[in-house]
A = this chain, B = another copy of it.
Amino acid sequence: MDIFEKKGLKKKSESLSGWYADVVQKAEIAEYGPVRGTMVIRPYGYAIWERFQQIFNRMIEEDGVSNAYFPLFIPYSLIAKEKDHVEGFSPELALVTKAGGEDLEDPLVIRPTSETIMYEMYSKWINSWRDLPIKINQWNNVVRWEKRTLMFLRTSEFLWQEGHCAHTTLKESKEMVLRALDWYRQVYEDYYAIPVILGIKSESEKFAGADATYSIEVLMPGGKALQGATSHDLGQNFSKVQNISFQDKDGKTQFVWQNSWGLTTRSLGALFMVHGDDGGLVMPPKVAPIKVTIIPIFGKSDEAVLKYCRKIKKVLDESNSEFPGKVIIMDDMEKTYGRRVNESEIKGIPLKITVGTKEVENSVVTMDCRLRIIKKVVSHLKEISEKAEKVLSEMQLEMYKKAKTFLDENTHEAKDYEEFKNIMKTKKGFIKAYWCGSKECEVKIKEETKATTRVKVENERSVVGKCIYCSKETSDVWYFAQAY
């Protein structure tokens, strides 16, 4: 069956999970690998990840963070040093027990995250305050064995960046934690066109080994929340057990203050789910691997049409653009016009330019925007770059606005627990509610409504209210939602 001729996508509004599985496969984004929970990221999907790498490398480089590479294998005895850390990750570890034809004495853990292995080296590299701060980022693959997996959102192996810094003071480390969080906010809001909620996580939801975890939360269609990226204040938890100390300016020995922060390929899952529609993906222009597709209509004067297509491409390629995606011509005559249009639509390519004999004769260009609310634009050839740039900018903005409206419309306040339960049953989305901070209430709420605490609401007037569950007085308001 020709998948593009007959798209055969499930409707997003009718079956979100069915639509998602279809669209990821049919847009040639990714497929499951032969080992359960592993994923093959195909060129079109991987190009989006490469775009994120480019954006993020620029952000961290400006801040003096360097890229490096640390080993995949962590001795089990090393990862076991920080107790909370090993406890938190134990159920998800993959272990190498045989190598080179022999049984290993100390099994090797495949990194689920690199704190322990990186800090083992940091302890060798750091002696004096002059060696600090150390700010290193890694691009790599990590493994966390998951029981239930879902393309991009939860896979046994995933790609990510993990930044790891060591500082002389807690203040400096905390500033770094929030700076990283703000980079993630920028990635989501300014590039992925996805508005986020951000803040500190509850004690039970924080990273194993951290003093505090900050998170970026995305509201997904269907009303569940996705943890989009995290930044951890590690305090001195690792430096004390791994002995990462330095002589300060007064000659006294101190332990370093650390933080770590990461964003994974799961972010691409958010991108696809938030923006896609019944026709397929919708790619935000700033991260779209292909920004424009030019589709010739074959007929009487193919050569003239193709020549004109190449002319359009040349003009667009040579113009200064804010959008680095490619301009392609879909000129495969083996494929029908309809199939090529479908292919462009399902892949979410922001702009589609259709070229027939009429366009050639009149030296005009017709641009269709993948975001349906933006109208068709007809332009003279010489104005095409300017017009395309304008439509792409508008599209980026409108995609953000649309997602923001969805977020706002699905962020509720609950005055009492009955209302809370009712919202979680009928509408889902975020609920802002008072919570006393006790683990008991958090557990009960989750058991009874499936809602988990997401992040604490910051910068609100500290009015005292009552915990949504136990009615104890508190001034802390939290975002709750069901989790992906």
**Is A205 part of the binding interface, using a Cβ–Cβ cutoff of 8 Å?**
no
Name the segment of A94-102, A170-178, A401-409, A473-481 touching the other chain.
A94-102
Cβ-defined contact, A46 with B71, below 8 A: no
Does more than half of chain A's interface fall in helix, strand or loop, or is it mixed? mixed
Give the distance to chain B from A67, nearest Cβ to Cβ, in Å. 5
| Distance A78 CA – B33 CA, assembled complex (angstroms) | 12
Query: Which residues of the other chain, B, contact A183 by a CB distance below 8 angstroms?
Result: none
Query: A50-B67, A108-B35 known; A143 and B101 CB under 8 Å?
Result: no
Give the distance to chain B from A446, nearest Cβ to Cβ, in Å. 22
| Distance A377 CA – B98 CA, assembled complex (angstroms) | 58
Cβ-defined contact, A157 with B71, below 8 A: yes
Cβ-defined contact, B157 with A35, below 8 A: no
Cβ-defined contact, A33 with B141, below 8 A: no
**Is A22 part of the binding interface, using a Cβ–Cβ cutoff of 8 Å?**
no
Can you list, as one digit per residue, whether each of A60-76 has a CB less than 8 Å from chain B (1) or not (0)? Answer: 00000011111111110
Cβ-defined contact, A95 with B93, below 8 A: no
Residues of chain A having any CB pair with chain B under 8 Å? 31, 33-35, 38-43, 45-47, 49-50, 66-75, 78, 90-101, 107-108, 110, 117, 120-121, 124, 130, 136, 140-141, 143, 145-147, 156-157, 159, 332, 334
- New contact pairs (6) apart from A40-B69, A41-B69, A69-B159, CB-CB < 8 Å: A31-B124, A42-B68, A71-B157, A93-B99, A96-B96, A96-B110
The 7 A-B pairs at the shortest CB distance, nearest first, are namely: A43-B66, A100-B145, A38-B71, A33-B71, A94-B99, A41-B69, A95-B98
